Structure 1
Amino acid sequence: MERNQSVVTPRRAAVAIACCWIVSFLVGLTPMFGWNNLNKMRRTHELNGSHSEFVIKCQFETVISMEYMVYFNFFVWVLPPLLLMLLIYLEVFNLIRKQLNKKVSSSSNDPQKYYGKELKIAKSLALVLFLFALSWLPLHVLNCITLFCPSCETPHILTYIAIFLTHGNSAMNPIVYAFRIKKFRTAFLQIWNQYFCCKTTKTDSNTIAETVN
């Protein structure tokens, strides 16, 4: 009997999640390690000969280095993975559609139904990818304009909206999962009933465990 090497075990899932969080922390906290505009702001303050107290104006484009946001954040950690995931999803859709178009004998284990479910899940994950691009690309486009066209002025309201979209993206994914995937929707409703409405059923823990697995 052949051993399946691609099985997702709880340990592998935990390692993958831990790696994602570690990389996220390192990338997100890089400005705190020194790649920011603090020294530039100090030099500007000293060159102006101002005797007033040095005060940092807490605005996104003031404290965050655009070189960090564009070259390191966007060109390394956002754009390449986004394009790679797009290519992977295109290949997944292509393979699933090829399988669905094949003639299936009546003695098979209903692969049409199986690949139909796979196609639905792939569409849900593609929607998540699309929402990610829709939420994050506006901010990175504005950052590129700020870096490569210093004379171009972008309204602050656009920057605030773009930042709001990036924060809102984290709230979109559970909603997409709940509406597109039945098991997630059932698990969310049961978690809501159990922890917010204080309603429990005997099958709550089993259903939630099945959804996670």
Structure 2
Amino acid sequence: MTGDLTPPPPVQLCYENVNGSCVKAPYSPGPRLLLYLLFGSGAALAVLGNLLVMTSILHFKQLHSPANLLIASLACADFLVGTTVMPFSMVRSVESCWYFGDSFCKFHTSFDGSFCYCSIFHLSFISIDRYIAVTDPLVYPTRFSVSVSCMCVASSWVLSVIYSFSVFYTEASTKGLEDLVSALSCVGGCQMAVNQSWVLINFLLFFIPMLLMTTVYSKIFLIAKQQARKIESQSNKTAKSSDSYKDRVARRERKAATTLGVAVIAFLISWLPYFIDSVIDAFLGFITPTYVYEILVWIAYYNSALNPLIYAFFYPWFRKAIKLIVTAKVLRQNSSTTNLFLE
């Protein structure tokens, strides 16, 4: 009988010689390597892809426009997710431990929230920009100027950073959860509990802009259909000739709206499961298993790597810009004046 009794495997801790250390739940070497490759490739794609977007827009003069300024700033938010959030979350997800200290844990969580809401606000302003561009493309340049775009960029960053850092650094999000926080606190952990009130506020800050964007893009596509039918129905060649510039501008703006509409849908699909789970979790006593939470978080993170792929698929100018950057042709004199548009 005694021969059948095997001692239980020793409990692994994040910090073996520290009292109150979190329990470590390591993966076996094979899955561990695969997860590092999966998460690491996502972070690398977010960094390199968004760096290409920013470089393209900032370098080529043809891309210096109010709309592209918003896209470059959005790419900056996604780039920062790839540099300041994803690498540390990767270690936490794979090793099941946080090795970067309590202070940086708060910074990391605040960065995470800041860049998420910054993306939401940018996408909201971009949807308004596209609506103006599609409904009245000839008047659009005077209505959405560089100064207006800069105001949108500044307000997106300031509001999102102030909100996220104030919520986590004042510990307002943990009010009423002191017992839970105390029970879950251990050395090597980095999970910020958020109470029901702040979970609802977080969800509304996500849901209301997304509802606005969905409504705006629905109107844009209806208008785009009407414009397309109007252009097709024109039979007078003289009218076509005199209106060709307006038609060409309208067509370009509709295409840009379609591309950014796809980016909004991708953002919605990536982040909505996480926000829904956070609400359910807060009201049902934080029942989400750790592995489910990590899956939802990484689906959301991967959105930062997705936007450059969307631009590369829909924008010929972006593919051309990438080719010029990768082949180092941007180092040539006057490369900033290269014509990137086919039209």
Q: TM-score range by the shorter chain?
A: 0.7 to 0.9
1:20 to 149, 156, 163: 156
Per-residue deviation, 1:90: 0.5
Per-residue deviation, 1:203: 4.8
**Matching of residue 33 in structure 1 with residue 161 in structure 2:** no
The separation in 2 between residues aligned to 1:84 and 1:181, in whole angstroms, is 25
Report the more deviating stretch, 28-37 or 134-143.
28-37
2:219 to 81, 91, 98: 91
The separation in 2 between residues aligned to 1:3 and 1:31, in whole angstroms, is 40
The question of whether the paired residues in 2 share the 8 Å contact of 1:37 and 1:64 is answered with: yes
The separation in 2 between residues aligned to 1:43 and 1:140, in whole angstroms, is 21
The separation in 2 between residues aligned to 1:58 and 1:73, in whole angstroms, is 23
**The residue matched to 2:331 in structure 1 has which SS?**
coil
The separation in 2 between residues aligned to 1:18 and 1:145, in whole angstroms, is 33
Aligned residues: 194
The question of whether the paired residues in 2 share the 8 Å contact of 1:96 and 1:118 is answered with: no
Per-residue deviation, 1:40: 3.7
1:185 to 319, 339, 342: 319
Per-residue deviation, 1:191: 3.1
Structure 1 counterpart of 2:302, one-letter code: G
Per-residue deviation, 1:38: 7.7
The separation in 2 between residues aligned to 1:148 and 1:183, in whole angstroms, is 47
2:280 to 119, 126, 145: 145
TM-score (norm 2): 0.49
**Matching of residue 154 in structure 1 with residue 267 in structure 2:** no
1:82 to 210, 217, 224: 210
The separation in 2 between residues aligned to 1:183 and 1:44, in whole angstroms, is 50
The separation in 2 between residues aligned to 1:199 and 1:117, in whole angstroms, is 25
Structure 2 unpaired stretches of 5+: 1-138
Structure 2 counterpart of 1:191, one-letter code: I
Which position in structure 2 is the counterpart of 1:58? Answer: 189
Report the more deviating stretch, 183-192 or 117-126.
183-192
The separation in 2 between residues aligned to 1:71 and 1:156, in whole angstroms, is 21
Q: Which has the higher contact order (CA 8 A, sep 6+)?
A: 2
**The residue matched to 2:172 in structure 1 has which SS?**
coil
Per-residue deviation, 1:135: 0.9
Structure 1 unpaired stretches of 5+: 49-53
Cα distance change, pair 203–172 in 1 and its aligned pair in 2 (3 A):
farther
Identity of aligned pairs, percent?
Answer: 22
**Matching of residue 136 in structure 1 with residue 271 in structure 2:** yes
